[in-house]
A and B are shown apart, each in its own frame.
Chain A
Amino acid sequence: MAETIEDRVIAILAEQAVLEPGEVRLDATLGDLGIDSLGLVEAVFAIEEAFDIQVPFNANEPSQSEFDISTVHTIVRAVENLITAQK
Chain B
Amino acid sequence: MRRVVITGHGAINALGMSAAETRASMREGRSGIGPLEFQDVERLQIAIGGQIRGYRPEDHFGRQELTLYDKFTQFALLAAREAMAQSGLEISEALSEQAGVVLGTAGGGLQTQDENYRSVYEEGKNRVHPFVVPRLMNNAAASHVSMAHNLQGPTYTVATACSSSNHAMGQALNLIRAGQAKVVLTGGSESMLCFGGIKAWEGLRVMSKDGCRPFCATRNGMVQGEGAAVFVFEERDHAVARGAPILAEVAGFAMTSDASDIVMPSQAGAERAMRGALRDARLNPEDIGYINAHGTGTTANDRTECAAVRAVFGPHADRVMISSTKSMHGHLIGGTGAVELLACLMALDEGVVAPTINYRERDPECDLDVVPNTARQARMRAVMSNAFAFGGLNAVLVLTAPG
Contacts and interface: CB of A to CB of B under 8 A. Distances in A.
Interface of A: 37-38, 41, 44-45, 54, 57-61
A58 B220 contact: yes
Contact of B206 (A44, A45, A59): A59
A44 B204 CA distance: 10
Contacts of B45: 54
Contact of B298 (A41, A44, A57, A60): A60
21 contacts: A38-B262, A38-B263, A41-B203, A41-B204, A45-B203, A58-B205, A58-B206, A58-B207, A58-B208, A59-B205, A59-B206, A59-B221, A59-B298, A60-B206, A60-B208, A60-B219, A60-B298, A60-B299, A60-B300, A61-B220, A61-B299
B264 A60 contact: no
Interface in B282-312: 298-300
A60 B220 contact: yes
Interface of B: 45, 203-208, 219-221, 262-264, 298-300
Contacts of B203: 41, 45
Contacts of A61: 220, 299
A58 B204 contact: no
Nearest to A36: B264
Nearest to B264: A37
A38 B263 CA distance: 8
A41 B116 CA distance: 29
A23 B299 CA distance: 32
Nearest to B296: A60
Contacts of B300: 60
A58 B264 CA distance: 15
B74 to A, nearest CB: 32
Nearest to B219: A60
B294 to A, nearest CB: 15
Nearest to B262: A38
B263 A58 contact: no
Contacts of A59: 204-206, 221, 298-299
B213 to A, nearest CB: 10
Q: Which 7 A-B pairs have the closest CB atoms?
A: A59-B205, A60-B299, A60-B221, A60-B220, A41-B205, A61-B220, A59-B206
A47 B261 CA distance: 24
B330 to A, nearest CB: 16
Given A37-B264, A38-B263, A57 B205 contact: yes
A57 B206 CA distance: 9
A44 B205 contact: yes
B365 to A, nearest CB: 13
Nearest to A61: B220
A51 to B, nearest CB: 17
Contacts of A38: 262-263
Nearest to B207: A58
A62 B88 CA distance: 52
Contact of B221 (A37, A41, A54, A58): A58
B83 to A, nearest CB: 35
Contacts of A44: 205
A74 B12 CA distance: 47
Contacts of A37: 264
A10 to B, nearest CB: 22
Nearest to B221: A60
A38 B262 CA distance: 10
Contacts of A54: 45
Nearest to B218: A61
A9 to B, nearest CB: 18
A41 B219 CA distance: 19
B182 to A, nearest CB: 45
A59 B263 CA distance: 12
Contacts of B263: 38
A59 B298 CA distance: 9
Nearest to A45: B203
Contacts of A60: 205-206, 208, 219-221, 298-300
